[in-house]
Amino acid sequence: MEKKRYFPNLNGIRCIAALLVVFHHLEQAKHALGIPNFYELPIVQHAGRLGVGLFFVLSGFLITYLLLEERGRFGNVDTGKFYLRRIFRIWPIYFLIIGLSFLVFPHISLMDFPGTDEKLQVHAAERLTLLLLVLPNFAFVLYDLPYWCAQTWSIGVEEQFYYLWPWLIKYPKKRIPILIFFLAITAAILLLGLELVDVSEETRSTMISTFLGQFRIQTMALGGLCAWLVYNQKTQILDFIFRKDVQVIAYLILLVLFFSGVHFTGFLEVYAVFFAFFVLNVSCNPDTLISLENPFMHHIGKISYGLYLYHVAVIVLVINLLITVSPEWGGPVYQIVLYVLSVAASVLVATLSYNYIEKPLLAFKDKRFGR
């Protein structure tokens, strides 16, 4: 039987995505707590969304390739085992951060953050129900979430991608009815939620546009298209994408876009195209101009899921600790200390989580449900 393909640099990509999100949330938390910040800068505003977008493209690429490879090796896709593998990867620390956010953090003064009391008390049952059903993006849009776990909205989008994608790979000839059924279910849940919250038409429209803005299945599908190109060895297209002059031009445009902070309709989709180009080159091109294979990036990428889920709570704790220890402290040295402590503590928590919670579960799911 064929050996599974190994893609280099994937942890490096995860590292970049995770650090973009951490940077965004650090500035956001400073802004909310009245600490001098750069949150209003477009580049900071975009960093979090772009980090999540990079995660989405990579996720679509990897999941699609694994599903195509499974179908090629075994002649089918075992959707049951696929979902069990995803459950053991995603649910344990997802539910851990939800539990901490609702049962533990509210009782710790060093975890205080503006506006959380209302988000814990008003519509608590509805919010928790959606979170327990692993629909955090619906909970975020309809009821908002306590800051410590607000980032889980993207886990919901990933999960919904997983509800759809294996069936499209398993039954490619039935992709239109599968897609229609999936979109109908998604729309029905959103419309039911909008009826239950009983808000004004203006707020309702805002909620719908927020949901659609976050529901970036098309971004993950673009990653899936990249996997299809690689799996089916579409060399004519890939040879063009892998050209060194094309890499230089694409990366220059990406850098100009990012550092200019330009915002335009559909800008996230435009970035997604560049991210897809980036993922293809660093993971599949022997002549890639960029290599992300180093111990630091490898480790951050390996623990990136935990880092993504825990870092917001860690940032809040670090800021409150610094305020408690030295309320008047400010200036450049304070900012550097805040960044170093926040990133280092987040990495430490994520590393402990990976070693003692995630890694044993990963080994179990690969042994029990792998193919």
pLDDT > 70 in the chain, percent: 99
Q: Note the pLDDT of residue 279.
A: 98
Q: Note the pLDDT of residue 182.
A: 97
Q: Note the pLDDT of residue 4.
A: 75
Mean pLDDT of the 295-320 span: 98
Mean pLDDT of the 34-52 span: 94
Q: What is the rounded radius of gyration, in angstroms, for the C-alpha atoms of the chain?
A: 21
Q: Note the pLDDT of residue 1.
A: 47
88-91 own/partner pairs: CB under 8 Å, 24+ apart: 88/361, 88/362, 88/364, 88/365, 88/369, 89/305, 89/358, 89/361, 89/362, 89/365, 90/155, 90/158, 90/159, 90/305, 91/134
Q: What mean pLDDT, rounded, does the chain reach?
A: 95
CA angle 38, 44, 49 (to 5 degrees): 150
Q: How far is CA 220 from CA 157, 199, 217, in A?
A: 10, 31, 5
pLDDT digits 0-9 by tens, 319-364 = 999 999 998 898 999 999 999 999 999 999 999 999 999 999 999 9
Residue 153 to residue 312: CA distance in whole angstroms: 13
Q: Is the pLDDT of residue 2 over 60?
A: no
Coil, strand or helix at 265: coil
pTM score of the predicted model: 0.96
